[in-house]
Every structure is written in structure tokens, then in C-alpha cells.
Structure 1
């Protein structure tokens, strides 16, 4: 099979926000590797193409015998299609921008993600936004997933920035991460008001000799260590059908007062294939969290002897990652390279390079600005202190943390 359909997706046209989760589908359990070079139908050799609004990638492991079937089956869940070019019988995977090389079948774009409207966090746990963030509503596409396979979700601060030299979630935004599933009739229309069950969490662990929670191990620190990636197994015993997958990071740097916990959430529309029949116990959003829950209203800037993870326990078919543990699988092997010449530039974002003075006030290094909800001051902080237009630097957990708001 020298050529076949290659799925090339563009995004929704909305900016990739602070929690720009990009789903990666792996673990189909089939041998072999696949290489994808996407080209125009009339262009040879392959010319890599990407629309300006494309936001990322998803990886699906599979053998050549599945490659054609997988691409064809995805036609109902794609934005655009081009062709698949397979110039070698066994290859490495060359991916289009913004990625460079992966060892798996690659599908590009956030085609099944309900991208949030802005990079503002959700702070009111009684709001309907706690389900899938403030977004433009369902998208018309779904990602196909096998029960028992592993998905890798990826998070980064800025639109188009997937560099491992930058923290995935910066500004001392320490806290846990979690992933939920909700069984729905149609993932492309569901509003997320149904029941949810947790399939993954990476929360907190005490670090020997730490003086405060800031020094301990956290799920968001693991995201930074693994270049924004975390592996999540889809339970093997759940029923087939449509689900919403909800990825959540909870930043606790300002959680010492009510409403200070910051939830960064993105939902994905997926279709699970499997033969299971399990029906896990569920919770509802809103309702699963209380504003005064000790895992949401907590001072992490003092010494901690324990941490109470918000929400239900992880479902028995799910997984729990020990905070501070090493990266594994795609978390360490899926590499992102620089985009080729000709890639459409992403929307410019405010930057916050090192420089300027500490503290919670204005000023800071020349030529740098801090995006809204990012750190601009605090004890030991040495970065930029000038907030982007429309926000000011405020003490939210003095003297430890100040942010633009």
C-alpha cells in the first residue's frame, strides 16, 4: 500500500489556551511502525501542509494492515483529508508541523477537542464551566479509541509552543492533574451534564527535606518534566460507545483563599471500541467539588503532611501515577521538533522571559510582559513583572505569589 488516505485535521480557529490538551491515541497492540507523509493530491514528492488554525497532533500506534482502515474509518471525524505517502516498507514516522518525528501513526489537529474560548481558568466549582470549561460547544468530530489502549494528553502554556525548553504549565502553578470519562449517547452533542468517573490522577507526594508544598512533588510538575505529556489508560472493561474525556489540571498557587483554586480543563469527544460492559459509579459536574474542599482550599506554601485529592476515587480500571515518578512511553519518546519553513505562524502571545525584579508590583525587565493569570511576583521570583494590557500584578498569596489578573 504505497498511498492511501491520510487524515489531516485543522483546529477550530480558536486560540490554543493555557491548557491546550492534545490527545494522543496509542496502544492498539499491533506490530510494526508506520510513517505518514501528507501531501496535496496533486503534489509529488509529498509537500507538508498545515492550516493556520491547526493546533497539534494525536498519535495512534498501528501496523500497516490497519493503517488504511484507520484512516478511512476516521473520515466521519476529520476536518480535511489529503493523501498518505508511504515511500518505504518500514519507516520512522515523519509528522507534519508542529511535530517533527514520532514512532507511531500520526493524526494531526485537535479535531475532537472542545477548545476553551480563552486562557482564563475556571474558579467557580458550582458553574457549568467546571464540566468542559467555557467553550463554543460541541464539535462535529470524534476520536476513535480502543478500550484498554493508552491515550497521551498534552498540555502547554501558549498557542503553538510545544517546546520542551518551556514549562508546560509555568508560573509555579503547582497542583494535581486528573482525567475523567462520561458515557454519552452522542459525544458530538452532549453537554456534559451526565455522570463522570475518574480514570486517572497524579496528585501530590512529599519530597524528603521539603519546607513547603511548593517543594513537594505534584502532577503539574510531572507534566513539566515530561514536556507536557501524561499517559492515561482507557479502562479495558468499559462499554463501547461515545464518551467525553475530560482532562483537568488544578493550580493551587493562589488556593489559600476561597475561589483561589484554578481549574484548567479541556474535553474531548471520543468513541470507544471494546467488548466490556462495566458501568462505573459516577459523579456530576457541578456537584463533584465543594469550594471549601481541603484539596481546593489549601495553602501549599507551608509544610504539608498530606493532600486530599478532590473528586471521586480513581475507577478500579483506571490508573494512578505516583507524583514525582519518571516519564514513560510516549511521555518520553514522543518528541517534538521545530516546524518546517512555511508553517503558518500561530497567533502571537505575550511572553514572560526572565528578567526584571521580584515582588508583587509592576515594572520588570525591559520588553517583557506577563500574560493574564501568570506569575508576576512573589518570594524568590526573578521574572518579568509587567502585566499584559488589561491586567495588573496583584498579590494573591502574599508574600509567596503574585499574578496578573
Structure 2
């Protein structure tokens, strides 16, 4: 009996330590929007009128920043519907578990220049801009508190990551992309991106300038000093600052 219990415990431990995570759903105000689940069949989800985020096949990381999967994960095909949201409102991405604790998180948006579900819109060629990012909050690189660690909730409640749509953003259809970059394995960064469709309303007339824009893929490379790193090395272990790579955050000004 003891041996059976031990094997069961090992199986649970293996599942937890090899599992990762992703956005399970979204909330805007008091409204909840169901997300895509890689644990259910695509046939039960793709094409459904409620589907607001782009399908992602597995909770596994992306290792190559130049892979097309870096844009909206894989397969990352268009969703059926969109989340209605006003410029200036908050949107929360809900994760039901997240196990890693070192590395930045970045929220991006991109205009679809029309319907995000259009076959002519290619998210990998879009102009992406950051609306928020969070990194090392306190302490050192290895032992300090990162946001992706702080937002973990082991009580059984969901992990919540909230960002604000810039209040003066021009109305239209946009993708929003939540991305976690995990740096806990030396010289092997991991990306976890998921995208959802938004329909932004409001009276704003602004769009980000060129210095705020980037391509995905294109924003990251393994040669960047903040990406291809060994956090356990003497160079990094006791650092108290981390510069999140990519363009600056656009707050609508």
C-alpha cells in the first residue's frame, strides 16, 4: 500500500513539475468570457460563438523566439467572437495555475485593421505595442519577488493579471496578447503567449507611434542580454534590477 501511495505521489509531483499554464478565461468588469482549453477537443470549441481567444494546442512553452508560434501560440487561428471593451477599462486574464516564478510578463495589443477573424489579417505581420509589463518587484533575480510569482494563488483561487486598455486608444478591433517569459532554466528561456480578440469602443483618436511598435516574431532574440541568460551565474544571481526587453509601454499619450 505504501508503495502504491508513493507512486501516486510521484505521478502527481511529475504532473505538477512538468505542467505549465496559460490564460483560461478573461473578465471585463463583472462579465466573464470563456477561453480556449487545450484539455478539451478542438471540435468542441473552434467555431463556437463564444470563442474569443485564439486556440492553443498545449500548455507547453515556446523556445524559439523566431517561431511563428510566438505570435499567438499554436495553432493561433482566428477566434469566432470578440470581447467588447471600452478604452480605459480593465481586462483581467485568468490563470488557474502557474508554477514558475522568474521572468517578466508583458501585455501586448495589435490593431487588426478590420475584423480580427478576417483571413487576410496576419497577426505575425501586425504592429504590436505594449500596454503593460511587470518584472522583478523586489529583491534579487533568483530569490526576489517577480510578478509571475506574486500573482500565484495556491488557495485554489485563480491567478489574476489585470491591465488597462489605454483610454485614448482609437476604437476598432484588436488582438490582446498576454505573454509570460520564464527564465528559471539557464540559457533556455520559455515563452507562454495567448491572444484574444477585442472590440474596443470609445471616443479616442490615438494610436502608438513607431518607437512603441514591434513585430512578433521579431521583438526577441536569444542574443538579447535579458533573454539568453543563466540566472544562477555570478553575473545574474544577486542582481536587483532587470530590464524587460522590447519597446516601451504605450499608455495612450
Q: 3-state SS of the aligned residue for 2:245?
A: coil
Return the alpha-carbon distance in structure 1 between the equivalents of residues 60 and 145 of structure 2. 25
Alpha-carbon contact 1:294-1:308 (below 8 Å) kept: no
**1:187 pairs with 2:120:** no
Larger radius of gyration: 1
Return the alpha-carbon distance in structure 1 between the equivalents of residues 158 and 82 of structure 2. 25
Alpha-carbon contact 2:24-2:95 (below 8 Å) kept: yes
Q: CA deviation at 1:264?
A: 0.5
Number of positions where the alignment pairs a residue of Structure 1 with one of Structure 2: 210
Question: Which residue among 132, 149, 172 is the counterpart of 1:241?
Answer: 172
Return the alpha-carbon distance in structure 1 between the equivalents of residues 190 and 129 of structure 2. 21
Alpha-carbon contact 1:187-1:269 (below 8 Å) kept: yes
Return the alpha-carbon distance in structure 2 between the equivalents of residues 314 and 179 of structure 1. 9
TM-score of the two chains, using structure 2 as the length reference: 0.75
Return the alpha-carbon distance in structure 1 between the equivalents of residues 193 and 98 of structure 2. 13
Return the alpha-carbon distance in structure 1 between the equivalents of residues 76 and 194 of structure 2. 12
Return the alpha-carbon distance in structure 2 between the equivalents of residues 222 and 234 of structure 1. 22
Q: 3-state SS of the aligned residue for 2:152?
A: helix
Return the alpha-carbon distance in structure 2 between the equivalents of residues 24 and 181 of structure 1. 17
Write out the 4+ residue segments of structure 1 that deviate beyond 6 Å after TM superposition: none
Runs of 5+ consecutive residues of structure 2 not aligned to the other structure? 1-19, 33-38, 42-46
Q: CA deviation at 1:131?
A: 0.8
Alpha-carbon contact 1:174-1:218 (below 8 Å) kept: yes
User: Equivalent residues in 2 for 1:20-59 (5 A)?
Assistant: 20-26=23-29
User: Equivalent residues in 2 for 1:306-321 (5 A)?
Assistant: 306-317=241-252
Q: CA deviation at 1:53?
A: 5.1
Q: CA deviation at 1:173?
A: 4.0
Alpha-carbon contact 1:145-1:273 (below 8 Å) kept: yes
Runs of 5+ consecutive residues of structure 1 not aligned to the other structure? 1-16, 28-33, 37-51, 55-77, 81-108, 157-167, 319-405
Question: Which residue among 74, 81, 93 is the counterpart of 1:141?
Answer: 81
Q: Which residue of 2 aligns with 1:382?
A: none
Change (3 A) 1:277 1:305: same
Structure with the bigger RCO (C-alpha within 8 Å, sep 6+) is: 2
Q: 3-state SS of the aligned residue for 1:232?
A: strand
